[in-house]
Amino acid sequence: MFKKVPGTRDILPEEISYWQKIETTARKVFSLYNYKEIRTPVIEEAALFSRSLGEFAEIVKKQMFLIKNKEDSYVLRPEGTASIVRAYLESNLDKIRRFSKFYYIGPMFRLERPQKGRQRQFHHIGAEALGSSSAGVDVEMIMIADALLKAYGVAGYSLKINTLGCAKDKKSLVGLLRKELKGKLTGLCQECKERFKHNIIRILDCKKDGCRKIVGSLSIQDKYLCGDCKEHFQQVTRGLDAGEVSYEVSRQLVRGLDYYTRTVFEFKHEGLGAQDALGAGGRYDNLVKDLGGPQIGAVGFAFGVERLLLVGDLKKNELRNSLVFLISLGDRAREKGLKLLDRLRSCGIAADTDYENRSLKAAMRLANDLQSKLVLILGDNELEKNIVILKDMGNGQQEEIATREVVNKIKERLI
Ligand code: HAM
């Protein structure tokens, strides 16, 4: 028998309602902020990501799913930001409406060692706003992410933010780190010794105890930041304060992708264990230019859907779909019942029934398994009286309703 590829998952029908709920809620929240959906291909040129994320980024060095043939080198996209900038430029959107707000939902691929919350195919829900350097857009982006977490019923998350400064500031940061870390190399882990050569900024967020101790002893603070970048960051924190979003400034938050400049942020949740990032993002003011476009600012974020599902309240919430399940008891009721089903469906109500003549108890169990929201019970008694019994599976209450009233009553309940 064939098995799925390690690090991938089948999303089976019993789970799909959570995914649909996550996606519908995201679409609603994004549209409130006037973000428009964009869908880009899952395969892209490999060079798009090495150029955007940086040759020495972990994703590019170790995690790309390469598809090679004689002439081309493609990859399964490891993230959405670079693809969206490519699409924005390729379709000349920068010339039509320079400031554009996009959102996206879709699978991403990284060749990682699978573990809890870390897969080879996972899904992003993300947003990118291209064409503005204003701190107000950073604030909006973080507020959307926060609104999404609240809409999903995620509790107990925290938000860390930092600023990396502009490209010049990042160079100063590299210089300062080189100077301060030079004499402390022996205390760093093997990976950070490597990072010292090509990716020194990442030493700041190494999780190993020895490296954390050394990083804690550095005296860099915000010395690498220019006046403009300091001001930009102050505007961001002031905006978050005004929007009543809780956050913590962490100078160790640096992110693993080269394209970031200025604001970076990460939402964490302890319940996730080792892979504790629910989502992350930041500003990337030079990426559009690096990919051949004009010098315009941009900012975005992405959540991992699988991780949202691990900590969201969607499962606990007994999320029932809007299915109405009809239980007909006896031959005459079954005949009438088929007509009633037809009526419901033609009025746009999703309806199902038991075709196996189950007992009332067994049919109720089936209705429950199918996560029906409402159950209709029709037997000889009810036929006599021209009524049906309507049971709400959420609160267990039931009532008798006149047959001609069925559609209206159900519609009221499904709102
Ligand atoms: P990222 O931090 O690489 O950022 O990914 C964002 C989120 O995707 C992570 O916080 C995590 O929840 C989820 N994620 C990442 N890798 C995996 C995996 N292997 N399995 C399951 N979930 C995973 C980005 O990709 C940036 N493009 C975000 C961004 C958008 N920055 C600006 N705009």
Tens of pLDDT, residue by residue over 248-288, are 999 999 998 999 999 999 999 999 988 899 999 999 999 99
Which pLDDT does position 14 carry in this prediction?
81
| Cα→Cα distances 413→76, 77, 229, 316, 393, Å | 44, 43, 53, 21, 11
Which pLDDT does position 225 carry in this prediction?
97
User: Is 300 a pocket residue for ligand 1 (Cβ < 6 Å)?
Assistant: yes
User: Is 277 a pocket residue for ligand 1 (Cβ < 6 Å)?
Assistant: yes
| Cα→Cα distances 12→18, 19, 46, 275, 372, Å | 11, 10, 32, 24, 17
* Predicted TM-score (pTM) above 0.75: yes
AA letter at 322: S
Q: Alpha-carbon Rg of the chain, whole angstroms?
A: 27
pLDDT digits 0-9 by tens, 124-141:
999 999 999 999 999 999
Tokens of 232: 């930009």
User: Is 301 a pocket residue for ligand 1 (Cβ < 6 Å)?
Assistant: yes
Which pLDDT does position 34 carry in this prediction?
92
Which atom of ligand 1 lies closest to the CA of 266?
A: 10
Q: Which residues are within 8 A (CB) of 2 and not within 5 positions of it... i.e. 6 or more apart?
A: none
* β-strand pairing of 298-304 with 351-353: unpaired
Distance 68 CA to ligand 1 centre (A): 25
Residue with CA nearest ligand 1 atom 12: 304
Q: How far apart are CA 284 and CA 259, in angstroms?
A: 5
pLDDT digits 0-9 by tens, 156-207:
999 999 999 999 999 999 999 999 999 999 999 999 999 999 889 999 999 8
Whose structure tokens read 């209206």?
Answer: 408
SS3 375: strand
Residue with CA nearest ligand 1 atom 14: 304
Tokens of 4: 């799925």
| pLDDT interval class at 320 (50, 70, 90) | low
| pLDDT interval class at 414 (50, 70, 90) | confident
Whose structure tokens read 């799909």?
Answer: 16
SS3 255: coil
AA letter at 330: G
pLDDT digits 0-9 by tens, 352-403:
999 888 999 999 999 998 889 999 999 999 999 999 999 999 889 999 999 9
Tokens of 129: 């706003």
Q: How far apart are CA 146 and CA 157, in angstroms?
A: 10
Of 60, 240, 43, which Cα lies nearest the Cα of 136? 240
Q: Residue 316 pLDDT > 70, yes or no?
A: no
- Alpha-helix residue ranges (DSSP H) falling in 347-379: 360-369
Which pLDDT does position 415 carry in this prediction?
67
User: Is 78 a pocket residue for ligand 1 (Cβ < 6 Å)?
Assistant: no
| Cα→Cα distances 273→116, 268, 278, 343, Å | 8, 10, 11, 50
Q: Residue 318 pLDDT > 80, yes or no?
A: no
Tokens of 81: 């930001």
| Cα→Cα distances 101→34, 364, 372, 409, Å | 7, 47, 37, 41
pLDDT digits 0-9 by tens, 15-73:
888 899 899 999 989 998 899 999 999 999 999 999 999 998 999 999 999 999 888 89
Average pLDDT over residues 99-106: 97
Which pLDDT does position 105 carry in this prediction?
98
